A = this chain, B = another copy of it.
Amino acid sequence: MAGFQVDEIVTSLQQVRREWREGQQRAQEGGERELPSRDVMADVVESLTGALFPMRLGPTDLRQESEDFYVAHTLDAALHHLFAQATLELRHERRRTAAELAELSADAQQRVRAFAEALPGIRRLLDTDVMAAFHGDPAARSVDEVLLCYPGVLAMIHHRMAHQLYKLGLTLLARIVAERAHAQTGIDIHPGAQIGAGFFIDHGTGVVIGETAVIGERVRLYQAVTLGAKRFPIDSDGHPKKGLPRHPVLEDEVVIYAGATILGRVTIGKGATIGGNVWVTQDVPAGCSVTQALSRELARDMAAPAK
């Protein structure tokens, strides 16, 4: 058997990589891989999850007597791995060489330290999320079942960590964490989204929450809800402008049923309810219920300019 003429394919692939690098103006780069690693970040998230909920999501042979030891050792190791990844991200972002690495180190360390200090607050918020799921779902039998089984809770464990990384400027690490939750749960929350206490997503598959969304306390969402952008302002190069507020604001105690779509920087007032499959592109007053019939009215002026 004559094999597969790998040589020619290797040469062709080399040529394609060269074109890509030239197109990206990276012709001169070399040496080691400089990107953070998804696998390392997956381990970091696993470890931090164990440190946050040691007796329920930590190792099965853990005993309550040595909870603090486990938490301390796990935390210390996870934070140092996170520190290395943070340094890689800063270096990649600023195109520094390995030699200049030291100068990024203090910066990375300060960010990871701030992240660490936020962890007790994150645990406290997650406890409110667990309670919200338990009270919000008639099928839930115990708070432990909720923590072990609910994809919405798994997504929030990831999001509350990812959001902290995002606020500290480690946006690539944040995104890696968020996409890990997305792959496991079908829930796609951008790490930039701000979400208050007692948040509950039921079922969750197909939920999308955009970067600049702001969500109050005790909000409840069902599967396939979109909190998206209506349209993007375009910059002078014809590309979408980055960073502008363009996703909805949900005030406290809002409920949004499955498949509803809310687009643009609109505000859904306190305690409002959005029915299933409803399409909303305007503000909704506090306490109001929107159903499909009503939403057709609200949707009218969005349809118009699109022609």
Chain A residues engaging chain B, CB cutoff 8 angstroms: 1, 3-10, 12-17, 19-20, 23-24, 29-33, 35-39, 51-52, 54-56, 58-73, 75-77, 79-81, 83, 92-93, 99, 102, 105, 109, 112-113, 116-117, 119-120, 123-124, 127, 135-139, 141-145, 148-151, 171-172, 175-176, 178-179, 182-186, 188, 190, 192, 203-206, 208, 210-211, 222-224, 226, 228-229, 232, 239-244, 246, 258-259, 261, 263, 273, 275-277, 279, 289, 291-294, 299-300, 302-303, 306-307
Question: Which of B76, B139, B149, B183 is close to A211, meaning CB atoms less than 8 Å apart?
Answer: B139
Question: Which of B64, B143, B150 is close to A30, meaning CB atoms less than 8 Å apart?
Answer: B64
Q: A16 to B123, Cβ gap below 8 A?
A: yes
Q: B20 to A127, Cβ gap below 8 A?
A: yes
Q: A223 to B226, Cβ gap below 8 A?
A: yes
Q: A80 to B63, Cβ gap below 8 A?
A: yes
Question: Which of B24, B137, B143, B183 is close to A151, meaning CB atoms less than 8 Å apart?
Answer: B183
A171 → chain B, closest Cβ, in Å?
Answer: 6
Q: A148 to B1, Cβ gap below 8 A?
A: no
Q: A127 to B16, Cβ gap below 8 A?
A: yes
A172 → chain B, closest Cβ, in Å?
Answer: 5
Q: A208 to B15, Cβ gap below 8 A?
A: no
Copies in the complex: 6
**29 A–B contact pairs at CB < 8 A?**
A1-B105, A4-B83, A4-B113, A6-B65, A6-B79, A9-B75, A10-B68, A13-B120, A23-B127, A35-B144, A38-B148, A62-B77, A66-B72, A69-B70, A92-B142, A135-B239, A138-B211, A138-B244, A139-B190, A139-B210, A149-B178, A183-B185, A186-B205, A203-B208, A208-B258, A226-B259, A226-B276, A261-B276, A261-B277
Q: B188 to A6, Cβ gap below 8 A?
A: no
Contact status of A226 and B32, CB under 8 A, knowing A51-B13, A75-B6, A192-B139: no
Q: A206 to B179, Cβ gap below 8 A?
A: no
* Cα A64 to Cα B34 with chains together (Å): 11
Having A188-B205, A291-B306, one finds 14 other A-B pairs with CB under 8 Å, namely: A1-B31, A6-B66, A10-B68, A13-B51, A136-B240, A138-B246, A151-B182, A183-B184, A188-B203, A206-B224, A208-B258, A292-B303, A293-B299, A293-B303
Q: What are the residues of chain B within 8 A of A263 when measuring CB–CB?
A: 276
Contact status of A7 and B109, CB under 8 A, knowing A119-B13, A141-B171, A205-B205: no
Q: What are the residues of chain B within 8 A of A63 when measuring CB–CB?
A: 3, 31-33, 76-77, 80
